Structure 1
Amino acid sequence: MASSLNFNQPQDQWIIAINNIIHSNDTDVPICVFKVPDFLKASKPEAYCPQVVGLGLLHHNRLELESMQMYKVGVARKMHKGFGRIEFKELISELKQLVPSVRSCYQMYLKADDSEIAYAMAINALFLFELLCYYGVGKDTLTSSNILHGLVDTAGTRLAQDGMLRDTMMLENQIPIIVLKNILLIECSEPNSSNVASKKKKKSTIIEKFLPQMLLGYCKALSPLHVLENYLASIALKHPHLLDLLYHLIMLKEPPEEEAPKEEEEEEEEEDMPQSRITTEVAGILVKGLLELPWSNLDSSSINNNALDEKEILVPTASKLCDGGVKFSFTNHITAIGFDHGATTFKLPNIKIDVNSEVIIRNLVAFEATSKFDESESESLVFTQYIELMNGIIETTKDVKVLRHHGILKTESLKDDEVVKIFSGMSKSVQLASTHELYKAIADVNNYYNGLRKAKARKFAKKCVFTLWNVRTLFAAILFRL
């Protein structure tokens, strides 16, 4: 039995851990840390596995990351001394009580024992606090706080590598927010306080104000898209980890309790295809054949020898739309994407592309895929769909220039061809639903663009028929004279 389970530690250790989870009173946290599906990882594995620093419990002991282990310990030591209220062994002792809840956050069973998990939580979370303090609130806020002032000389002593920042937003590398909350409660407790339960229930200023400020500020600093402003602190702390918080900051227009449920309207897409009334039989056949061609896919850049994947969003590129008279304007939210027929304007959100963006975007797509996997109701993978749209309208550096000129793309320290590679390399493996407003915008812009191509087709057909008629007339005249 034990061999079939294939555990590295004795089976009784596994039984003890499961019993602790079952009997714990604090394990209502849903599973939130997932393994990225293989079909997403296949295209670029390094975008999903930390390359510099392992923070979560899935990668903290990877041999490839061992060069950072002692650096993390050094940072954690400084951060712990910055709080300066309790002994480190006391922090570990109290964190062990949180282990069942932490195990419940993971999709798979954690093979490490309780002590290893407690130490990993302490070191990795304290290391993350350095980044949260420096990028989330800054030293001015630390100085003004009676609780956090000891961290002023600790946070940001070394500018974090971009690789570290990317790693903190990987799905498999997440630290549950309940860990951060509990460590702050423990670190900021009075050293003589012996009532553990009362300490955990106590709503410290740092939990109510500074932790949400850290989390929200950090997400805002790294987000490739506009995030929801004035997000309530109480809601921020309900999210299971940073990536989940970032996803909802991007996707929500308002905090959840203020957001009225939307009723999805059925969309009827009827294409207006006026038929040219040309008397000759050859003209009718020619026009009909031309009108029935898939004009949005006839360019050489989009012809593929294989059948088109039905899950791929088909849309003209930005430069082609621009050449067809379409203008672009920016909007602050994904759900506000739309095509204005009257103004012939395609509205798209601003997106910032820098050295961290690809990894963050890919992991947001992975999070959306895993978090919606077990939902009873079918939902549109809106963020994934938006990325597919951007992949469709960006094929060349000319497309990048068009979108940057109109304020849609903001590229930082990246060349145009690198931006093209980022979007062209995004995975197309996620099944897309067709119930969201974004599909209406795509259909609208396609109808407009196809209408332009069909108009050209009709003009070309009429010209061909007119030329054919003239040739027949000339030929008849020559025969008559003979």
Structure 2
Amino acid sequence: MLLSPPHQSPNPNPIWDEQRWIIFIRQALDHEDDLDQESHIPVSIFNVPKSLMRTSPESYVPQLVALGPYHHSRPELYEMEMHKLSTAKRSQKASPGLKLHNLVDQLSRAEHMFRASYHKFLNLNGETLAWMMAVDSCFLLDFFQRKAGNPTLNSGRKTGLHDAILRDIVMLENQIPLFSLKKTLEFITGSTEGADYCLYAMAVGLCRDSSPLMIQESNDVDQINKSAHLLEFLYNLILPRFHESFKTALDDEEESPNKAVPAKTSPFSLIKRLVLSKPVTIILTLPWKIISNLPGILMLKQVEYYCFSRNTEDQNNNNNNNDNSHLLMDEIAIPSVTELSNAGIEFARTEKGIPGIDFDKETATFHLPSLSVDVNSEVVMRNLVAYEACGDASRPLIITRYTELMNGIIDSEEDARILRERGIVWNYLKSDQDVADLWNGMSRSIRMTKVPFLDRVIEDVNSYYNGRWKVRIGKFVRMYVFGSWQSITLMAASMLLFFVSLQSFCTLFGCGRLFFRRTRTY
């Protein structure tokens, strides 16, 4: 648990903060068993890094309902407190002979476990924290049960209020520990045996409803005890046991027959290697290099630079400086979906989720997981990225790298349309342009995102794309023809001026007669 200095608390009274801090330290030291238990509870509920918060604050800050202590004191969220209180009353009525005070007493014994789960120092007394967890847990369980018992919500026709609550529930700063939900469910049902299974079924239903990516349901009820909160549970369903599964996938890929046994060399591949070899490339580009280094051409290049390129270069430098002030990571260097499709690359859906992302060189097929895009997708993806970045520093940022990949290949409405027609993107927004805008705004990260198996796929796609003759010819034309159009224009204008001047000179001094006389006398 992270203990912040008292002056970092939002309470304006520093003396009161110091007293509360001293009381908390004394209580923590007096309960050695709780302190030992607390040391085994990793911090799991973080504040979103400021670098991510600046890009889209509304994606990380709850707009309707506050869960947990981080946003509990925001006045604009007080309206939902009465609704949360009514759900707590219904939960109390559902448990004859029991009062909510009994649940609060049970949760009070786990005060140190609650505090250890949060990264920020909680300037709340134990009773306030226990009541907060009890009321919020009752609200979440009531929301899950209403969703499970409402066929309208299960059929996909969700209401605006349902979507708004769902967005707030999956936010990183709006999480509460799952053991609070488990204790509350045991209190309501009066049984501890079926609480895990019931909570697992509810949580899976929530993840199935909110996840843009396919989740891997394994019917392992113990997963609910291995996850600290709902967002982590969703992450684990999208990437089940990534430390083991992804390492195994990488080992299998390295030991596959395609990697170990070289493919048979065909005559076409030999011709292709010969044409693309370095000597042939030098022979093809040497004449242009010789011509471009002639004295007259070099002079024209200098004139072009000072006349045309200086302003453009200065403008680009200014734009880059402005962009670098808020961009932390560059976009992945990979062609867009349209460019890849025009180069002969096909797109197909994989049923294995993110681990199934692959590029088949033999068939030129790019396999991508299915993606459901609706009004909640951006918030869910952003908070998954934030959770992944705030967790274990040794953990590969797989979802972050996936969002960077999608941001790299989706640039326009046409890119989103192609993926939708291939069955990869299920678009529930108004248009394909909305899908493109969503992914184009999600290229932020707080540290390097190197994921070996995804980087290998990106490298294979780029290698295949750059090796296509159509692409190579297009790059050559853009570089040496369209890229130097200003030099060609300047050269044409200079030649036109030269011939006009020559014509005027010959008109005045009779160049034809002089040339004719010299020829006859000779």
TM-score (norm 1): 0.77
> Which residue number in structure 1 is paired with residue 277 of structure 2?
274
CA pair 121-458 structure 1, distance change in 2 beyond 3 A: closer
Q: How does 1:401-420 map to 2 (within 5 A)?
A: 401-420=417-436
Does the CA contact (< 8 Å) of 1:20 and 1:100 recur in 2?
Answer: no
Inter-partner Cα distance in structure 2 for 1:179 and 1:327? 48
> Which residue number in structure 1 is paired with residue 508 of structure 2?
none
1:385 to 394, 401, 414: 401
Inter-partner Cα distance in structure 2 for 1:52 and 1:284? 64
Inter-partner Cα distance in structure 2 for 1:266 and 1:310? 29
1:13 to 16, 20, 23: 20
Does the CA contact (< 8 Å) of 2:213 and 2:371 recur in 1?
Answer: yes
> Which residue number in structure 2 is paired with residue 438 of structure 1?
454
CA pair 344-70 structure 1, distance change in 2 beyond 3 A: same
Gaps of 5+ in 1: 141-157, 190-202, 288-302, 465-481
> Which residue number in structure 2 is paired with residue 329 of structure 1?
348
Inter-partner Cα distance in structure 2 for 1:279 and 1:352? 47
What displacement does 1:98 show?
A: 1.7
> Which residue number in structure 2 is paired with residue 367 of structure 1?
387
> Which residue number in structure 1 is paired with residue 73 of structure 2?
61
What displacement does 1:255 show?
A: 9.0
> Which residue number in structure 1 is paired with residue 205 of structure 2?
217
> Which residue number in structure 2 is paired with residue 233 of structure 1?
221
What displacement does 1:29 show?
A: 2.1
> Which residue number in structure 1 is paired with residue 414 of structure 2?
398
TM-score (norm 2): 0.71
Inter-partner Cα distance in structure 1 for 2:385 and 2:134? 29
Q: How does 1:15-164 map to 2 (within 5 A)?
A: 15-22=22-29, 23=31, 24-25=33-34, 26-27=37-38, 28-135=40-147, 137-138=148-149, 160-164=161-165
> Which residue number in structure 1 is paired with residue 465 of structure 2?
449
Inter-partner Cα distance in structure 1 for 2:95 and 2:78? 26
Inter-partner Cα distance in structure 2 for 1:171 and 1:224? 16
> Which residue number in structure 2 is paired with residue 174 of structure 1?
175
> Which residue number in structure 2 is paired with residue 313 of structure 1?
332
Amino acid at match of 2:472: K
> Which residue number in structure 2 is paired with residue 477 of structure 1?
none
> Which residue number in structure 2 is paired with residue 297 of structure 1?
none
Inter-partner Cα distance in structure 2 for 1:390 and 1:351? 11
Inter-partner Cα distance in structure 1 for 2:97 and 2:198? 18
Report Cα offsets for 1:244-286 as digits up to 9, x if no partner: 010111112x698888756668899xxx752326478415669
CA pair 286-176 structure 1, distance change in 2 beyond 3 A: farther
Amino acid at match of 1:328: F
Does the CA contact (< 8 Å) of 1:380 and 1:436 recur in 2?
Answer: no
Inter-partner Cα distance in structure 2 for 1:382 and 1:77? 42
What displacement does 1:20 show?
A: 3.8
Give percent identity, aligned residues only.
Answer: 34
Does the CA contact (< 8 Å) of 2:196 and 2:224 recur in 1?
Answer: no
Q: Between Structure 1 and Structure 2, how many residues are aligned?
A: 412
Report Cα offsets for 1:301-323 as digits up to 9, x if no partner: xx995289764311111111112
Amino acid at match of 1:16: I
Amino acid at match of 1:274: S
Which deviates further from its counterpart, 26-35 or 81-90? 81-90
Report Cα offsets for 1:396-428 as digits up to 9, x if no partner: 111110000001101114322222221111142
> Which residue number in structure 1 is paired with residue 188 of structure 2?
187
The structure number with the bigger radius of gyration is 2
What displacement does 1:435 show?
A: 4.2
Does the CA contact (< 8 Å) of 2:7 and 2:17 recur in 1?
Answer: no
What displacement does 1:457 show?
A: 4.7
Inter-partner Cα distance in structure 1 for 2:245 and 2:458? 29
- Secondary structure of 2:93 counterpart: helix
Does the CA contact (< 8 Å) of 1:50 and 1:167 recur in 2?
Answer: yes
Report Cα offsets for 1:4-51 as digits up to 9, x if no partner: 565734423223323444524342321111000000000111110100
CA pair 50-381 structure 1, distance change in 2 beyond 3 A: same
CA pair 256-37 structure 1, distance change in 2 beyond 3 A: closer
Amino acid at match of 2:287: V
Amino acid at match of 2:335: P
Amino acid at match of 1:318: V
Gaps of 5+ in 2: 152-158, 260-272, 293-315, 483-518
Report Cα offsets for 1:44-68 as digits up to 9, x if no partner: 1111010010012111221111111
Amino acid at match of 1:394: I
Does the CA contact (< 8 Å) of 1:380 and 1:432 recur in 2?
Answer: no
Inter-partner Cα distance in structure 1 for 2:117 and 2:78? 24
Inter-partner Cα distance in structure 1 for 2:216 and 2:291? 52
- Secondary structure of 2:344 counterpart: coil
CA pair 21-353 structure 1, distance change in 2 beyond 3 A: farther
Inter-partner Cα distance in structure 1 for 2:62 and 2:285? 67
CA pair 260-380 structure 1, distance change in 2 beyond 3 A: closer
Inter-partner Cα distance in structure 2 for 1:381 and 1:405? 29
Which of structures 1 and 2 has the larger relative contact order (alpha carbons within 8 angstroms, sep 6+)?
Answer: 1
Q: Of Structure 1 and Structure 2, which has the larger fraction of its residues in helix? A: 2
Does the CA contact (< 8 Å) of 2:331 and 2:407 recur in 1?
Answer: no
Inter-partner Cα distance in structure 2 for 1:105 and 1:422? 32
Does the CA contact (< 8 Å) of 1:122 and 1:183 recur in 2?
Answer: yes
Inter-partner Cα distance in structure 1 for 2:412 and 2:102? 57
CA pair 285-173 structure 1, distance change in 2 beyond 3 A: farther
Does the CA contact (< 8 Å) of 1:382 and 1:436 recur in 2?
Answer: no
Report Cα offsets for 1:140-194 as digits up to 9, x if no partner: 9xxxxxxxxxxxxxxxxx98521100000000000100111122223333xxxxx
CA pair 180-461 structure 1, distance change in 2 beyond 3 A: closer
Amino acid at match of 1:438: L
Does the CA contact (< 8 Å) of 1:354 and 1:414 recur in 2?
Answer: no
Does the CA contact (< 8 Å) of 1:91 and 1:187 recur in 2?
Answer: no
Amino acid at match of 1:15: I
Amino acid at match of 1:306: N
CA pair 18-459 structure 1, distance change in 2 beyond 3 A: same
CA RMSD of aligned residues (A): 3.4
